[in-house]
Structures are given as C-alpha cells and as structure tokens.
Structure 1
Amino acid sequence: MRRPPDDASGRLTPWRRWTTGEWLRAGVLSALAVLLVLGGLGAWVLAQAATDTSTMVDHSSPALTSAVRLESALLDQETGIRGYGLTGRRDYLTPYTQGLADQKSAVDRLRTLLAGDPKPLADLDRVLARVETWQAVVARPVAAAAPGTQAQVATLTVAKGKADFDAVRAAAAVQQNRLQAERDSARASLDRIDVLRAWVFTTIAVVILLLAVLVFEGLRRGVTKPLEALSDDVRRVSGGEFDHPVDTGTGPADLRLLAADVEAMRRRLAEELAFADQTRLLLDDQAADLRRSNAELEQFAYVASHDLQEPLRKVASFCQLLQRRYADKLDERADQYIAFAVDGANRMQTLINDLLAFSRVGRVNAAYAAVDLEQLLETTLDSIGLAVEESGAVVTHDPLPTLTADPTQLGMLLQNLLTNAIKFRSPDRPPEIHISAEPGPDAWTFAVADNGIGIGAEYADRVFVIFQRLHTRDAYPGNGIGLAMCKKIVEYHGGSIAVDAEYAPGTRIVFTLPLPSEELPAALPPALPPALPRPGDDTESQ
C-alpha cells in the first residue's frame, strides 16, 4: 500500500498511518472488549442474584418454616398430653399422636434443608435432645398410663415436665432465631445484589450509549467530515476553481491518499488547462493569420481570374492577329511558333481556371441541400452529351438516392468521373460505364466502373495527387487535376475515395458519401463562382 502523505512535521504518528478499516477494526474490538467485560460483570451479578434467591427461597425460608412447624408439632404434643392428663379421655391424645407425625416430617425436612450447614444442624440436635428428654419424662409415661391413673402420673411429672418443655421451647427459639438470621442475611444479600444489578445494567446501558455516541462522533470526525471536506474541495474544483488546493492532511490514511490523488489530478488539470489556454491563444493567433491568409487568397483568386487571364487573352488574340495579317510574309516555322504561343496561352488560361475551381471546393458557395442524384446525373449527362455521343458511350446506373450535400460539387464529381471514363476508353471498344450505389449503416457506397484502359495498382494512390499524370499530354490532354478535385470534394463531404485495384478490365472508382443528416452545415459567404471544367478538359491523373 502506498504511504500516506506526511503531516506538517514531516513525520507520521502511528495512528496517523491507520486507514479507515484499521480505525473501524480498532473501534469495534475496543467496544467488544468493553461489552465483554460488562457482559461478564452482568452475568456474574445475575448468577449471584440467582444464587441468593435460591438460598432464600429453597433453603432459608423453607428451613425457618419447617422449624416453626416443628415447634407447632411440639406444642400440639404438649397440649394433647396435658389434656389427657387432666381428663383421662383417650381422644385428647390425638393432637399428641398427630404432633409426633408432624415432628418426624418437620425433622426430616429440616435435615434435608440443613445438610452441610453444621450450626443449624447442631441447633436441631439440641432441640431434639430436649424433646427426647421431655417425652421420656412426661409425654410417653402419661400417654402410656391407663385412664384413671393418668392424673396421678401427670401430677408426679408436672414440675419436671414444665422445666423440660421450657428447655424445648428455648432450644426451638434459638434454632428459629438462627434460621431467621440466615434468612435475613440472604434477603439483605439479595437486596444488595438487586441494587448492584441495577447499577451494572444501568452502567451497561450508559456505556452502550456512550459507545454509540463515540462511534457516531468518530465516524463523523474521522470519515464523514473529511469526506465532506474532500467533496467540497472537489465540487469547487469541478465548478471551475482549478487553483483551489485539496486538503490532504485530514482523515484516515486511505482518505488522505485519496485526497492526495485528487490533488494530483487537480494539479494536472490545472497544468493542462494552462497549456490549453496557451494553445488556444496560439490557435486564435493562427486562426487570425489563416483568416488574413484566406482573405489574401480570395484577393489572389480574384486577380488570377481577371487580371492574370486578361494578358493571356491579349497574347493569344494578338498572336492570332499577327498570324492573319502577316500570313503571306511568315514562313512555316513562324506559323508554328505562333501556334505554340496561342496554345500555351490557352493552356495557361485553362490551368488557371482549373486551379481556381480546385481551390474553391468546400470554400466558396458551399451550401448543403437535399440532392436527388438521379436528377443530378441526368443534368450532368446533358452537359457532356457531345462527348458521350462522339464516343458512343453507354452509361447505366443503379437506383440513386437523395443525399444532403452541395449540389454544385457533386455535379463536378460526377462530371469529372464520367469524362475520365470516356476520355481514357479502350481504342478497340466503345465505353461502357456503370454507376452503382449500395446503402450502408452510416454511408452510401458508390462506384463508377468502365471498360477503359484501366489504372495500374502501383498508381492507385498517385492518381489523386494534383498535377500527377500517367500519360503524356499529346496522348491524353489535360492538366492532371480531375481526380485530385474528386478526392477533395468527397473528403469535404465526409467520405473517402479510392481506386479498386482488383477490378479488370477497366477502371473502378469507389467513393462513399454519408447518409442524410438532420443538421445541415451553414453555407459559406458567397464569393467568386466556381468554373466547371469543360467536357474536353483532362480530369484524371492517368
């Protein structure tokens, strides 16, 4: 992992190196440790409360109750013995008999409850010893006496019996007091545990609340606040304040790394924008130079189309006047020289017109409109009708579409391609020219194929360069501008043009034109009208 940026002192404290995940893990582990401690304390308190409750409910209270029942059973025995001794009626012994059974049940219950507790067991043994003494001296002799003699037995044991039963009562009181004390102690312990439990669980609730507050505040300070600051810086930068620095010194290590990356990106963007501004200023200067240069070219085109052609016309005219006036005084060589001069002037004039037409493609009178190629082809064939008739050419075509283009330039394109196919025909067969059209997803593909002399594969690219010729002017007249102009027209419309090198015999020129667009380019300001090449001019660089 990359090292986070240093703080102001140039060094990072250990916790400053922690990422968001590490802070979260540390926080979660700390919270879990605190909760485990509190949970353990709560579990201990609950266990202690359960123990004290069990001691009081299952031991102290039942033992005290059984001791009270034992005392009650002894009182019943004493009551039965005293009643029988006074009346001699055997039915008065019923409480004594029941008291014996209750005594046995209470003693068994007490021994079970007091098992493992020596002091209460010792108290129980003392009570039983006193009971045994009273029963041996008083209860059993009186109960065993026959009716009529019981009074005498009772009278003899009355003094001793009262003392022994008082001792029984005293021992039972000691036993009950001890058991009551143990029950009160268990109750007090349970009350203390209840208070402690309330405090523990209140503390747990408070600690959980504090942990939630600490987690929320930690996330706010450590994650949310740095993220908000970073988002604010990013919004300001995206809003156009590219000189606003991004704070890279707050938050966990990974957030600082993210901020450092954003700051690096901002600096890069600021540098790129500064460079773009410089480039734009340079482009503005170059655009101004181009506009000035274009204005000069327009002026030159005007001069070339008027002022330069006027001397050529004069040269040709006066040479022809010189030839007519002095025909009888000039020899054959002079006539030949005059013919050369007139031909040179005419070719120079033609070359100037062709160059003007080439330079105006896409620059002068460029107005897009819906062009019906069927109608445009018919118009073009009418303009070159003489050449078609003289050569015996047969022109066929596929159904042609309607495109959005400059009609004047497409007319020049069709005219140049058709006149080329007618001019460079084979001497042993009439020209056969076919125009095909195939729609595509983005553009129409057109092809003009003929059965002429063809173009070698090694010249497939060269023929589209201006002034490149493959034949002498004597064999095929022209200036070598035709296909160069075709390429410029097609590329201006967003298409491409090439020679099909595999086509034979003859030549096949393939070009593409984009499908109609809803938005048409705005027309350029009108200038000098373009001059269409004459049907007899050369339009292909062969």
Structure 2
Amino acid sequence: MKRTILKSERFLKAIFGASLFVILCIGGFAYQHIQKLVMSFEMVEHTYEVNVELEQILSYLKDAETGQRGYLITKDTLYLQPYYASRENANNSFARLKELTIDDKEQQNNLKNLSFLIGENLSIFDKSLKYADKNGTNTAGFYALLKNGKQTMDNIRAAISKMISHQNELLQIRKKKSNESLTNTPLVIYSVLIITLVLLLLTYAKINKDLKILKEKNIQLEIFKESTNQSEIVSKHGNWTYYINENRFEYSDNLYRLLGEQPQSFPSTIESFMEFVHPEDLENLQKQVDKMIKEENLPFIYYRIVQKNGNIRHFKAYGKIIVSNDDQKRLLGITSDITEEVENYRLLEERNLELERNNKELSSFNHVASHDLQEPLRKIQTFISRLDDKEADNLSEKGTLYLKRIKTAASRMRLLIDDLLQFSRTNKSEEVLEATNMNLILENAKQELAETILDKKAKITSDAIPVMTVIPFQAQQLFINLIGNSLKYSKKELAPTINISYCKVAADDVPKLKKPKYSNYHKLTFVDNGIGFNQEFAEKIFVLFSRLHNKNEYSGTGIGLSICKKIVDNHQGYIFAKGKLNKGAIFEVFLPFK
C-alpha cells in the first residue's frame, strides 16, 4: 500500500510543486542579491562622480587664474574668455555637486564652506583685474591681492582635498559592500557571464556569415513568410495594416478567407470590410473604427460578421501603433475568428449550470432521502423494541441472536443516516463567514461530548485561541469530530488525553501547504494518546466511508473525518494527519488568517 501511494499521481504532483517552490525561492534570493549588487555599484559610481566634479571645480578655478594672469601680462582680452568660461563651468559643477551630495549632511556643510571660499576667490580675481587696470601690477596693493588670492586658493585646495578624502572614505565603505555583494552572488554572475559569452559567440557567428549564408537566410525568410500565412490559416486569424499617413488599409490573404472570400478579391478598404459586418454590430464597430483613426489606437473589440453563405462568425480585433525611423505611422492589427471559443464558452456555461443543478438535486436527494429513511427506521426500531420487551422469552436461541443483530444493524443505520445528514449540511454556500470566538466554540463542542468525556475520564487541555473568521456551526462540528475521533480510538486501559495547541504560521514556512492562497494561517494541532494508525493511511482516513478498523471493533461510519476535510476545504484551509500505531495521532488544521 505504501509503495502504491508513493507512486501515485498525487505524490508526483506534490514533489513537482515542492521542487518548483524551492526554485522560486532560490530565484528570489538571487534577485535580491543582484539588486544589492546593482545598488552598491551605483553608490561607488556616485562617489566617483562627486570626486570628478570636485577635481573639475579646482581645474576650472586654475583655468580662471591662468586666464587672469594671461590678461595681466598681455592686456589681451582674449585671455578673459577662458576666465569667464571657467567661472561659469565652476558654478555648474558646484550645482551638480550640491545635487549629488544632497543626502550627505557633512558634504553639504563642506559645500557651504567651499562656496564661500570660491566666492571670495572670484571676488579677489575681480578686484585684482580692476586694481591692475587702474593702478598697475607693480604696486604693494596688487601684491597684497595676489597674496590673498593665493591664500584663498590654498584654502580651496584644502577644502576640496577634505571633501575628496571624505568621498574616498565612503568609496572604501561602498567598495567593501560591493565586494560583499559580489561574493554573495557568484552563481548569478557566473550564469550571466556564461549566457553573455554564448550570446557573443552567436552574434559573432552571425556577423561572420558570408553571402551564401545571407542568401540562405533570405530563402528561410520566404519559408517563414509562407509558414506565417499557413499559421494564420491554422489559427484562424488575419493581419491588417492601416497606413496612417496615407490613410489606406492592407489586408492579409487569410483575412479575406475569414470573411469567406478569395484572397484579394475586393479592395482592402474599410467600406468593403463593413459590408460583411453583422447589422446589429455595424454601428458600434463604425464608432470604434472612427475612434481608432482619430486616436491612432485600437483596443480589443468584439463583433460579428455575416459571410455570403449566411454563416455568422465571431471576430476579435486588436491594433497597435508602430512608428518607423522616417516617422511613418502604421497601425498593425490582428483579427481572429473566435467563433469556436464563443461556442465553447456558451457550452461550458450550459454545462456549469447543468452541473450546478445536478449538485443541488444531489444535495436535495441526499437530504430528503436521509430524512425519509428515518421514518421507516424509527418504525423498525419501535417494533424491534416491542419484540424485545414482549416476545424475547418466546424466541429460540437463534431467534434471540438474530434479534440482537437486527438491533445492531438498525443502530448502525441510524448512525449512518445522521452522519449523511451532517455531511450534507457541510456546505459553504449555505453559511456565512463571520468573526467567531473560537474558545466558546471549543467549549460548546466539549459540552456536546460531555457524556463520553466523563465516561472515559478524558483530559482535554487547550491553548487560548484567538478570534477567527469562520463558519461558526462548521467550526464547532470540526472540533466535535476531531475530539470525538480521539475519544473513540482511545486505548481501553488508558484514560485519553487530548492537547489542543494554537500558533500563527507563515505559508512560506510550511512546505506542505501546496499553492496557498493566503500569506498566513491559524494552525490548530490536536494530539492524543490513542491507538494511532500507520502513516501510510494518513490520506485514506479522510476519504468518505473509509475505515481502518472492523465495525465490530470500533463503531462508526467512516464519515466523521470526511466531514472535517470538507469543512476545512470550505474555509480554503488544509488538514493533515500523522500517526504511529499504538502511540497516538496528531491532526494539524490550517485555517486562513484574515
């Protein structure tokens, strides 16, 4: 049995799902590290940009100083051109620096100091020029200005050097982070490198193809064109192009075939096409076409056409604008024949309605049949009781045995009908989810089982359970069935103990939750010290009418745990069973955390 289960289709799907989940996790992990790596590279590049701009500012100031000196020596205004240009470039670099260091408070403060020094330096330049023009260069005042200018330039160099040092410190930190990111993503980088090398090799191979290969490609293109035409026929779609600048249409051959005509049998104009449109859809389609021509866009539209033989076909069309290098606009469109899809959809709707009706009829039949069976069963049990009370002494030994078996069979029939009724009531569509005090639900369930709990001297412990969004009646039935199952399959010589624990879990942390619809779940765990079961039957016990024990050993119909499974499914949850023979059983219930 165990080998059969392991080889089952469900097990294979489970293995595939687990493998896919692991691959997705690895992909997400790799993506996260690549993002960190990209960010670290950007930060390193940002540091280099700041350093370059700082060096540029110093260079521009030197150019300005050189232009000033050239003018002072030669009195040629030509030297003032680089002087003024350098000042403007320095201002631009300074603005760029301010933008680059906007998130660095220390560098912002340094920039304020640098701005002051640059302003002071440029002011000294201006004063020196004016002073030299008025008083000449061979004066004490001029030398004093030069000295101040030199001192200011030294201060600027020191300030820039300080800022560069700060950026270099940041650069070392960012390089370290970049190296860490690199070491964390070697597999990704290696894979990208391999793919890149393959692409480069393929590109190199294509570039080096000679004229003969090019001719072969042209032949292949012709073959591809023909295969495209064939694919249009097979997939029942046709292409059309609207040349916006020329206000003309061009239809593919298969578009004509979709209309029931021979290729190119009539002019490819919108007026000719409209002659095939169903009269009820003509006005709406004309509005869509006018809107398409005006807005140069065509979203998905649906309409019908009438072929000349009277057949009505359903079409779907879509268009997308394409602009070539010479500004020629074209609207490329695809028109598909979706008649079979429409008919299949209608057929599917009909079958769904039929299935829904059948389900309702089946549920109604199950419910009515179960109720109607109770009346004759009550009469049978009544006559059995009278026979037992008044005629038992007149029966032979075999008659007494037969009567006992009839009573047992009638009791089992009563239990089976009650369980069938309970199973039929477990229908999500008939109940409403609501916030529910689960501790109160648990207490109600224990009250339902109070007589059995007292008879078996059972001990039930539980954690505090938070409010959950559930169907109250079904949640109570879930508790009753799970606790009742533990009580039923308890050891005769040992008082049963049942522990109910609660915790909140993330779906990603529980691999056995296949394709979870929610991020988090309530987890309820029922642990008992009963007779347990072999783990190979962990899924079979939830199957309707499935029993692991002879009916003479333990009472029951094999429906109780099936009801539990149906209730959990109604809540879009999961239920799992684990057991060890003569050691006990564990039932895990996962309900969505809403």
The TM-score, its normalising length taken from structure 1, stands at: 0.47
Q: Which TM-score applies when normalising by structure 2?
A: 0.44
Q: Relative contact order, CA 8 A, sep 6+: which one is greater?
A: 1
Q: Which has the higher strand share?
A: 2
